């Protein structure tokens, strides 16, 4: 099972590198493509002829994830507790994952991502909040520290995948 999981990870990474580097065309002049805020909107835009490159989708994903930090600061000012803030941060990250998959034009690539998540988390759509809590507990975290860890991790994206697309994220 581990060998299959590792093979899927290698294949997915190779596919992402190929998509990022081979046949790369400059972004078109003119107005940017619309950035959907829901899966339904992404599907509607796709049906209307909008197609995003994997690079554009990754940039959008990073932009959505980058909203978590400022949102968390606002939630703190509103007096929202660490557990609820962690749930919200996790939800934003999870919804960004699903939205960006809905933006993808290749069903094969989406399926590879879903299989990777199934192997890694036991869920084709990524980790659940409960799994994130359990993972934090296994690291020895508890109380607010556990939830702050979830908030922090929700703001980090895979640097290797970003690098494959030439994307640099500031810490």
Name which residue leads in pLDDT, 23 or 56. 56
pLDDT digits (tens, 9 = 90+) for 126-166: 999 999 999 999 999 999 999 999 999 999 998 888 888 77
pLDDT at 114: 95
Of the candidates 97, 151, 103, the residue with the CA atom closest to the CA atom of residue 126? 97
Structure tokens given for 167: 């994307």
Separation of first and last alpha carbons in the chain: 34
25-48 burial: b if 16+ Cβ within 10 Å, else e: eeeeeeeebebbeeeeebeebbee
pLDDT in tens, 63-112: 999 999 999 999 999 999 999 999 999 999 999 999 999 999 999 999 99
pLDDT recorded at residue 152: 98
Nearest Cα to Cα of residue 101 among 71, 119, 126, 66? 126
Name the pLDDT band for 27 (thresholds 50, 70, 90).
very low
Q: Among 118, 100, 87, which residue's Cα sits nearest to residue 157?
A: 100
| CB 117, CB 123: distance < 8 Å | yes
Give the CB-side neighbour count of residue 161, counting CA atoms within 13 A: 19
Mean pLDDT for the stretch of residues 12-24: 49
Q: Retrieve residue 133's tokens.
A: 């809590």
Q: Rounded to whole angstroms, how far apart are CA atoms 158 and 91?
A: 18
Higher-scoring residue by pLDDT: 60, 14: 60
């Amino acid at each position: 099972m581990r060998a299959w999981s590792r093979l899927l990870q290698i294949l997915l990474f190779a596919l992402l590198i190929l998509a990022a580097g081979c046949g790369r065309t400059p972004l078109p002049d003119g107005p940017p493509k619309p950035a959907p805020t829901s899966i339904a909107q992404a599907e509607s835009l796709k049906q209307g002829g909008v197609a995003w490159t994997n690079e554009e989708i990754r940039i959008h994903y990073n932009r959505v994830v980058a909203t978590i930090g400022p949102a968390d600061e606002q939630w703190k000012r509103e007096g929202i507790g660490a557990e609820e803030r962690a749930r919200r941060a996790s939800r934003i990250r999870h919804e960004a994952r699903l939205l960006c998959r809905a933006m993808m034009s290749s069903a094969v690539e989406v399926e590879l991502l879903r299989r990777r998540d199934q192997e890694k988390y036991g869920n084709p759509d990524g980790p659940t909040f409960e799994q994130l809590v359990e993972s934090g507990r296994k690291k020895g975290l508890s109380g607010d520290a556990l939830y702050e860890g979830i908030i922090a991790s929700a703001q980090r994206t895979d640097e290797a995948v970003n690098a494959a697309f030439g994307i640099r994220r500031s810490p």
